[in-house]
Amino acid sequence: MQKEELIKKTPLRVLNPLSSESLPDHRMGLVMARAGLGKTAILVQIAMDSMLRGQKVLHVSIGEGLEKAKAWYEDIFKYIAEGFQLDNATEIEDELMRNRMIMTFKESAFSRLKLEERLNDLVYQNIFRPDIVVVDGFDFAQADYDSVMDLKEMMAAMNVQGWFSALRHRNDNRKSVTGVPAPCHEVDGLFDTVILLQPEKDSILLNIIKDEYDGAAGKILNLDPSTMMVKEA
């Protein structure tokens, strides 16, 4: 399969239609799940889809090291190349990774100010200007509305999309009126797209419970637990 055909066929196309012209550059997305269900895998596949389309992605990993984040991209690309029998896979992988930068933070060291400082250094020195910032590991349970709003305002000011992961806790049943569960139930209005991962017997459902721009709300995809790859339901 050629790269152009892969771009059209990926199940994640439901989140970013190729024909959509109304999608704002500073869209905010959220992937929510309990521990170990595949939040990072989803974020990496969203990032990979953007990279395939020529966009630059900054992957911010909070509480995990550089090598672990890199391994996610290597593994996901391997499954994509094999599953879609991708032509010229090595050349395409090299091309994609030039569109990606990974930035790591300790949990206690992450803030909008520190992220913005490091990101501005990259942009002003003409090293890397992202179109999308993926933030994996942000602690929504410890964050208040203002701190999340602060990040949203930063993304808008820099004209980039932001995608976040959030950890759900099994015994916390709070949710917003739109169905967004804790710990994000009080900040759900700041996100344009919310994806909830729900375990089933043989797969994990990706339930798009909110989508302001593409009309994808209510649609469901599957996550293969053995490969962590998204597929159509």
pLDDT for 201: 79
User: How far apart, in whole angstroms, are the C-alpha atoms of residue 233 and residue 230?
Assistant: 9
Residue 161's nearest CA partner among 193, 189, 123, 186 is 193
Note the pTM of the prediction, 2 decimals. 0.92
- Please give the domain boundaries of the chain with CATH numbers for all domains: 3-12+24-232 (3.40.50.300)
Residue 191's nearest CA partner among 221, 213, 218 is 213
User: How far apart, in whole angstroms, are the C-alpha atoms of residue 198 and residue 179?
Assistant: 13
Identify residue 26 by its one-letter amino acid code: H
Contacts of residue 54, defined as CB under 8 A and 6 or more positions apart, other chains included, come to: 99
Helix 39-52 with 66-83: angle, nearest 10 deg? 70
User: How far apart, in whole angstroms, are the C-alpha atoms of residue 193 and residue 220?
Assistant: 13
pLDDT digits (tens, 9 = 90+) for 47-69: 999 999 999 999 999 999 999 99
User: For residue 1, what are its two tokens?
Assistant: 């399969």
How is residue 189 annotated by DSSP? G
How far does Cα 51 stand from its chain's mean position? 12
pLDDT digits (tens, 9 = 90+) for 124-167: 999 999 999 999 999 999 999 999 999 999 999 999 999 999 99
pLDDT for 180: 94
pLDDT digits (tens, 9 = 90+) for 183-228: 999 999 999 999 999 888 778 988 899 887 655 666 778 888 888 8
H helix runs in 125-210, sequence order: 145-157
